Amino acid sequence: MNFKTYQKLQDLIKAKGAIYVPLLDPDKKSLSEIETLVVSAEKSGADAIFVGSSILVRNSFQECLKRIKDSCTLPVIIFPGLFNYVCEYADAILYLSLVSGRNPDLLIGEHVKSAPLLKSIGLEPISTAYLLVSSGVTTSVEFMSNTKPIPRNKPDIALAHALAAEFIGMKLIYLEAGSGAKESVPEEMIRAVKSVTTIPIICGGGIRTPEEAKKKVKAGASIVVTGTVLEEKGDCEKLMNDFANAIHF
């Protein structure tokens, strides 16, 4: 198994300080809209593309990944939500373990089911500690995963989870407020996690402006993800460009 996509992300973080990753949901846009978005993302300075959904409604995931790969040269990474959708057209998959919860299926069960297929198609897994953080509303992840998020005013709890994940050998820490969250992950929590961990921190959920994204980077995030705010716009090339400029330093 090679880990070249993870290495590429690390190289980009080293070169740019932090990187910007738009999240595309195949359920929210048509295939042609997604193709257009991907082309705009590359032009606007985005560094990689995440593709995923909490519930897949349309039967177009494989086709969508293929079209995305054909439309850009950016690393294309599956962000599987709660289930490990596997697809040979992607460069890698965030192999998410929902470490903030105590649901065994999402800590290891789903991984066991998908590991042999990942191996046989040669899809790179990027071991990622997924920490769900409360955000003011019940998010899809919270409901679907049947787990409690970490209270947003408890950075010490997030810190302990992140440290344990790094000790176990995970390669990324995803601080997640949930798609469309009312409030994004607090900077104080990002700072606390950053103060003890050496692996890159991804921050996503409820980030709506480039200014907000910059605050996450200043607090210690190496990767900032936006999804919902892009779905709400028609042509979002300028917005993606503003995000990329705010995040790179």
| Residues at the site binding ligand 1GP, with contacts judged by CB under 6 A | 23, 176, 179-181, 204-207, 225-229
Q: Could you tell me the smallest distance in angstroms from the CB atom of residue 14 to ligand 1GP?
A: 23
Counting Cβ atoms within 10 Å, is residue 169 exposed (0-12), middle (13-18) or buried (19+)? exposed
Would you say 166 or 176 has its CB closer to ligand 1GP? 176
Would you say 12 or 207 has its CB closer to ligand 1GP? 207
Q: Could you tell me the smallest distance in angstroms from the CB atom of residue 112 to ligand 1GP?
A: 23
Would you say 23 or 165 has its CB closer to ligand 1GP? 23
Q: Could you tell me the smallest distance in angstroms from the CB atom of residue 54 to ligand 1GP?
A: 8
Collapsing DSSP to helix, strand or coil, 53 comes out as coil
Two structure tokens written together for 83: 């289930």
Two structure tokens written together for 58: 């349309």
Collapsing DSSP to helix, strand or coil, 166 comes out as helix
Residue with tokens 């042609």: 32
Rounded CA-CA distance 125/5 in Å is 9
Would you say 21 or 159 has its CB closer to ligand 1GP? 21
Nearest to 9 by CA among 142, 164, 128: 128
Q: Could you tell me the smallest distance in angstroms from the CB atom of residue 103 to ligand 1GP?
A: 17
